[in-house]
């Protein structure tokens, strides 16, 4: 009797389990279908509408040429649909463009060149395979020619203000040599000598008529595309609030003219930690600042108290 009862209960439970599984599978299928319907309604891959009146640094872009439009369209598509990368452009530009823009203006460089820095580095202190470094991707030789200090302990290519100034000097000289901002931008990628050779070989000083290597051939078009997307975010599908963008924390500047043996101790004595000191002064490449010649350096010290939210905990752990 007990055996039959157990068998009956087991069978009932098994039937109930399969019934529940069937119901769940049906619900899951319905959820998937609903999700797919919502996906189809809310999201799509759209061709880019051809923008009108595009320009770079005040120079008209011949977008009515089918060949030129294809090249611009390619860059617009790549930067529109690589959404995570381009969204980061918006966020970081809000933090760093206010530093770059006044330096460009002071040097009579068109404001559009801030987008050159953006495509060069993504506004990160990256290093290229050729050894170019910083937001403006400056080579060691170029940096030293323009008076920047580059050695194992100090690399001023990572100083945004100084490197922006050097980029301005380069671009002004290139504009004088080539007669257009578009060619000045192209020469920033391929070098002035390379640009001069291609112009002489092909008998034209017009970037849009030159046959160039694939990187330089895309270079100005990438700047143009990123500029148009960032000036028209909603048009290209980028939705964000002002509070979603990154901002530069407040900081003060300390002038030093002697060796700092231990930058960690220096940071603590100024109310911050070593990590923040290096983040705000990436041109400091080691744990000390050698200064036998007593050269003047300007070190940024963040003053936002919320940057040190865990300081009490860290201090207590060190004491323990």
pLDDT score recorded for residue 45: 84
pLDDT of 144 higher than 50: yes
Q: Are 264 and 270 in contact (CB under 8 A)?
A: no
- Report the Cα 305 to chain-centroid distance in Å: 26
pLDDT score recorded for residue 308: 67
pLDDT score recorded for residue 314: 53
Rounded Cα distance between 27 and 31, Å, is: 6
The predicted model gives 254-274 an average pLDDT of 96
pLDDT of 36 higher than 60: no
Tens digit of pLDDT for each residue in 38-53?
445 556 788 999 998 8
Q: Are 188 and 165 in contact (CB under 8 A)?
A: no
Number of helices and strands in the chain (H, E): 12, 4
- pTM for this entry: 0.83
DSSP string of 175-186? HHHHSSHHHHHH
Please give the mean pLDDT across all residues of the chain: 87
pLDDT score recorded for residue 69: 97
Q: Are 115 and 167 in contact (CB under 8 A)?
A: no
Nearest-CA neighbor of 197 among 182, 177, 214?
A: 177
The Cα-based distances of 214 to 13, 65, 121, 217 in angstroms read 67, 19, 18, 5
pLDDT score recorded for residue 33: 59
Q: Are 185 and 212 in contact (CB under 8 A)?
A: no
Tens digit of pLDDT for each residue in 273-318?
999 999 999 999 999 999 988 999 999 999 987 776 555 555 555 5
The predicted model gives 122-149 an average pLDDT of 96
The Cα-based distances of 49 to 33, 52, 81, 225, 235 in angstroms read 31, 9, 14, 13, 10
The predicted model gives 85-110 an average pLDDT of 98
- Report the Cα 157 to chain-centroid distance in Å: 16
Identify the burial level of 11 via C-beta atoms within 10 angstroms of its C-beta, where 0-12 means exposed, 13-18 middle and 19 or more buried.
exposed
Q: Are 54 and 224 in contact (CB under 8 A)?
A: yes
CB atoms within 10 A of CB 134: 28
Q: Choose between 17 and 56: higher pLDDT.
A: 56
pLDDT of 27 higher than 60: no
pLDDT of 24 higher than 90: no
pLDDT score recorded for residue 305: 72
Residues pairing with 284 in the sheet: 154
Residues pairing with 255 in the sheet: 298
């Amino acid at each position: 009797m007990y055996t039959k009862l157990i068998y009956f209960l087991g069978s009932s439970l098994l039937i109930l389990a399969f019934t529940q599984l069937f119901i769940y599978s049906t619900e899951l299928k319905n959820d998937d279908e609903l999700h797919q319907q919502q996906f189809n309604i809310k999201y799509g891959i759209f061709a880019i509408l051809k923008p009108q009146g595009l320009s770079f640094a005040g120079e008209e872009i011949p977008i009515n040429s089918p060949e030129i439009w294809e090249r611009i369209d390619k860059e617009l598509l790549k930067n529109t649909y690589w959404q995570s990368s381009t969204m980061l452009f918006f966020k970081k530009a809000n933090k760093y463009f206010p530093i770059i823009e006044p330096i460009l203006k002071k040097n009579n460089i068109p404001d559009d060149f801030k987008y050159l820095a953006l495509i060069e580095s993504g506004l990160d202190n990256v290093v290229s395979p050729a050894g170019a470094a910083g937001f403006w991707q400056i080579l060691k030789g170029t940096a030293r020619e323009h008076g920047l200090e580059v050695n194992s302990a100090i690399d001023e290519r990572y100083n945004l203000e100084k490197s922006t100034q050097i980029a301005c000097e380069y671009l002004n000289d290139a504009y004088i040599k080539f007669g257009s901002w578009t060619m000045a931008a192209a020469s920033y990628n391929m070098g002035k000598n390379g640009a001069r050779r291609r112009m002489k070989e092909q008998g034209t000083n017009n970037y849009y008529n030159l046959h160039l290597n694939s990187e330089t051939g895309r270079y100005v078009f990438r700047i143009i595309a990123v500029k148009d997307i960032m000036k028209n975010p909603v048009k290209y599908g980028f939705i964000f609030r002002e509070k979603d963008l990154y901002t530069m924390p407040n900081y003060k500047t300390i002038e030093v003219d002697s060796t700092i043996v231990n930058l960690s101790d220096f940071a603590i004595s100024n109310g911050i930690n070593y990590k923040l000191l290096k983040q705000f002064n990436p041109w400091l490449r080691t744990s000390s600042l050698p200064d036998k010649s007593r050269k003047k350096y300007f070190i940024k010290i963040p003053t936002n108290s919320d940057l040190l939210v865990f300081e009490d905990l860290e201090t207590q752990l060190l004491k323990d």
